[in-house]
Amino acid sequence: MSALLDALRRPSVTNQPPTAREQWRNDIAVLLVALVALLLGWTIRNAVVDARSQLSLGEGLPTLEYPRSWLQQGGEGLLFQAVDPASASTFDARLSVALREAPEEQTLAMAEMTWPLQRSKEFQWFRHLSTTPVTGPDGRPALRVEYAYIADPTRASGGNGLPVVVRAQDLLFLAGEALDTRLVVVTVAADADEWSEHADQFQAIFQSLGVKEGEQ
Amino acid sequence: MQSAQRASQGAWQPPPDRVAQDRRGLWIASMLELLGLVLFVGLFNFLLPDLGQGLDGLPLILLGLAMSLVPAALWMLFFHRLDRLEPEPKGKIAHIFFLGALVTGAIVQPLLQSLFDVDAWLYASWATELFGGILVVGVLHALTVYLVVRYGIYTDPEFDERVDGVIYATAAGLGLATVLNFEYVVAHGGVDLDVGSIRMVINALAYASFAGLLGYFLGQTRFESTPPAYLPAGFGLSAAFIGLFFFLEDRVTSAGFQVNSWAGLILALVVAGITLSLIFWLVQRANEETLRLAQAGPARTTAPVEPASPPGSPGGSSPEPSHESQEVEP
């Protein structure tokens, strides 16, 4: 300790002033230290941001990945839900998965007709924005339904925050051990004002399921 | 001759007795600053706890913004009153303060928020908070202080004492802290003035102290030939202390769902007191060493070669330095 303090207070025993070259060397050394530290910091950042947790939806069902920093939460009628605690909005960006028993005669074409209507009963001020056929897990046909609604996230906790316009996407596909017995609904949602900030994460979630644009 | 050659390759060097000059005013001002900031917190928490009530929107933001300037204003006021013997030009101190604020607000904070997006990952675990806090936040903030002092005042003839490194780095650190406080006020739409005042004081104490520590190393390397790792070590120490301090601060103030700002304030006061005492001791010892060596055998040349602004010229208002060259006794 005393050696360290001695080195701190007495770097030179000559009183010699530094040369211009030494000053330049000091600048470069400090900048190099800063650069190396920032690169290490960047590596830590990427490791955290890109870290994924895996979720198996069940036997015979695909596996999806979501950001590891998201927190699991319970949800009524949901198989799984995770929220991003770093969301600035009172409505945390989230991923939820629901499995619904599908009637024998259920087809994706039927779901395309009925799903927005069903959602409109679940959410306030529901607006159906679009329905896009995509290629789902294992090359199955799937639907991506985009919509918006009004949520009141602080009401349950007794808070008086303002209601939030939520933008969401449902990925629908039929899956199961027997032939297409369950409708799988993977939902991503966020405050509409923050949608663009979470778009990459949502896209990564769908990509982990093997979702591709367009029908196969 | 060797020394004369060395100096002829660098900027103007003042004589050792000038380099080793002490500024009692700085240390007294710094201690008074600690006391003043405690009174500032006491004012908003005990005497005027309801000051912000009934205010919202713009008036609350304006009051919060005015408050965020108080720590820096207090330090400058105390320093101005106490630094009478060889007064440091107040315009240059203010210049470094504003430069520190400008670089922080225009470059460093946008980098932290946009490029590094620290809010998205820094608090994911204790390890990311500690190491990310040091490697990203600490390093960028220490780099701000370093660059502002290095390219804002370092080669100026007014930078002619070892302790000037501490003075100007503290000013840059307070500029940085003021911008962080501004951001805090704006992000929260004004502040709860009692808790807000504590937060502002903690920021000011931390950045003034750790910038001052980096300033000590800058003062050393300005007037002494140092080993290659010396300044990078000082820079790393300052960055590490910034990251470590805010890591500990978070642990101390947040216990479960409770927030104990007072514990955070006590920690900041203790850390600032220890850091300032350490810097004071280091400067004193280094000054003694400089004077001892100067008396034993003067090695320093004072030849004014290519100063940024020659002493005595309109741009350089420092007292007349000795222009005599002195030979080195090997």
- What lies within 8 Å, CB to CB, of A63 at 6+ separation is A54, A55, A56, A57, A208
Say whether A16 and B300 touch across the interface (CB within 8 A).
Answer: yes
B182, two tokens: 């501004």
pLDDT for position B325: 36
Point out which residues pair with A101 in neighbouring strands. A182
- B180-219: per-residue pLDDT in tens? 998 888 877 666 767 788 888 999 999 999 999 999 999 9
- Mean pLDDT value of segment A14-34: 90
Q: Using CA of residue B51, residue B57, residue B61, residue B63, what is the dihedral sign?
A: negative
- In angstroms, the CA A15 to CA B226 distance is 10
pLDDT for position B267: 92
Smallest CA-to-CA distance from A142 within A190, A108, A106 is with A108
- Identify how many contiguous H helices and E strands chain B contains and give both numbers: 12, 2
Cα B295 to chain centroid, rounded: 32
Banded pLDDT at A5 (limits 50, 70, 90): low
Specify the long-range contacts of residues A183-187, CB closer than 8 Å, at least 24 apart: A183/A99, A183/A100, A183/A101, A183/A102, A183/A106, A183/A111, A184/A57, A184/A61, A184/A97, A184/A98, A184/A99, A185/A97, A185/A98, A185/A99, A185/A100, A186/A64, A186/A95, A186/A96, A186/A97, A187/A94, A187/A95, A187/A96, A187/A97, A187/A98
- Mean pLDDT value of segment B163-179: 93
Show the DSSP H helices in A50-148 as ranges: 108-122
- In angstroms, the CA B167 to CA B22 distance is 12
Distance from the Cα of A141 to chain B's closest Cα (Å) equals 34
Contact B25, B84 (CB under 8 A): yes
Banded pLDDT at A12 (limits 50, 70, 90): low
Q: Name the residue with higher pLDDT: B3 or B220.
A: B220
Query: How many beta carbons lie within 10 A of that of residue A59, not counting itself?
Result: 7
- Chain A residues whose CB is inside 8 A of the B328 CB are 16
The answer to whether A110 contacts chain B (CB < 8 Å) is no
- Mean pLDDT value of segment A72-82: 87
- Asked if residue A138 has pLDDT above 60, the reply is yes
A167, two tokens: 């933008």
pLDDT for position B319: 39
Point out which residues pair with B306 in neighbouring strands. none
Residue A71 backbone phi and psi in degrees, to 5:
-105, 135
- Mean pLDDT value of segment B262-280: 90
- B45-80: per-residue pLDDT in tens? 777 766 666 666 777 777 777 888 888 888 887 777
- In angstroms, the CA B10 to CA A27 distance is 14
pLDDT for position B274: 92
Q: Name the residue with higher pLDDT: A134 or B48.
A: A134
Lowest mean pLDDT among A54-68, A145-159, B7-21, B196-210: B7-21
Say whether A30 and B231 touch across the interface (CB within 8 A).
Answer: yes
Highest mean pLDDT among A136-140, B59-63, B84-88, B105-109: B105-109
Residue of A nearest to B154 (CA): A23
pLDDT for position A103: 73
pLDDT for position B194: 73
- In angstroms, the CA B9 to CA B237 distance is 29
- Asked if residue A44 has pLDDT above 90, the reply is yes
- Asked if residue B330 has pLDDT above 60, the reply is no
pLDDT for position B51: 67
pLDDT for position B303: 40
Contact B213, B100 (CB under 8 A): no
Picking from A19, A29, A40, the nearest residue to B228 by CB comes out as A29
Q: How many C-alpha atoms does B171 have within 13 Å on its Cβ side?
A: 28
The answer to whether A26 contacts chain B (CB < 8 Å) is yes
pLDDT for position B314: 40
pLDDT for position B329: 37
Smallest CA-to-CA distance from B64 within B195, B193, B183, B175 is with B193
- Identify how many contiguous H helices and E strands chain A contains and give both numbers: 4, 10
- Mean pLDDT value of segment A171-190: 82
Q: What is the average pLDDT value for chain B, to the nearest integer?
A: 80
Contact B134, B239 (CB under 8 A): yes
- Chain B residues whose CB is inside 8 A of the A23 CB are 10-11, 221
Contact B11, B308 (CB under 8 A): yes
Contact A62, A210 (CB under 8 A): yes
Picking from A26, A32, A48, the nearest residue to B121 by CB comes out as A48
Lowest mean pLDDT among A8-12, A160-164, B38-42, B230-234: A8-12
Picking from A16, A26, A33, the nearest residue to B236 by CB comes out as A33
pLDDT for position A142: 93
Banded pLDDT at B83 (limits 50, 70, 90): low
- In angstroms, the CA B141 to CA B292 distance is 35
pLDDT for position A66: 94
- What lies within 8 Å, CB to CB, of B99 at 6+ separation is B148, B152, B172, B175
The answer to whether B177 contacts chain A (CB < 8 Å) is no
Say whether B134 and A37 touch across the interface (CB within 8 A).
Answer: yes
- B120-135: per-residue pLDDT in tens? 889 888 999 999 999 9
- A79-112: per-residue pLDDT in tens? 899 999 888 888 999 999 998 887 767 778 888 8
Which residues 225-264 in chain B show a CB within 8 A of chain A?
225-232, 235-236, 239
Banded pLDDT at B85 (limits 50, 70, 90): low
Say whether B135 and A38 touch across the interface (CB within 8 A).
Answer: yes
pLDDT for position B3: 44
Q: Name the residue with higher pLDDT: B6 or B224.
A: B224
- In angstroms, the CA B301 to CA A107 distance is 91
- In angstroms, the CA B263 to CA B196 distance is 14
- Asked if residue A72 has pLDDT above 70, the reply is yes
Cα B208 to chain centroid, rounded: 4
Q: How many C-alpha atoms does B321 have within 13 Å on its Cβ side?
A: 30
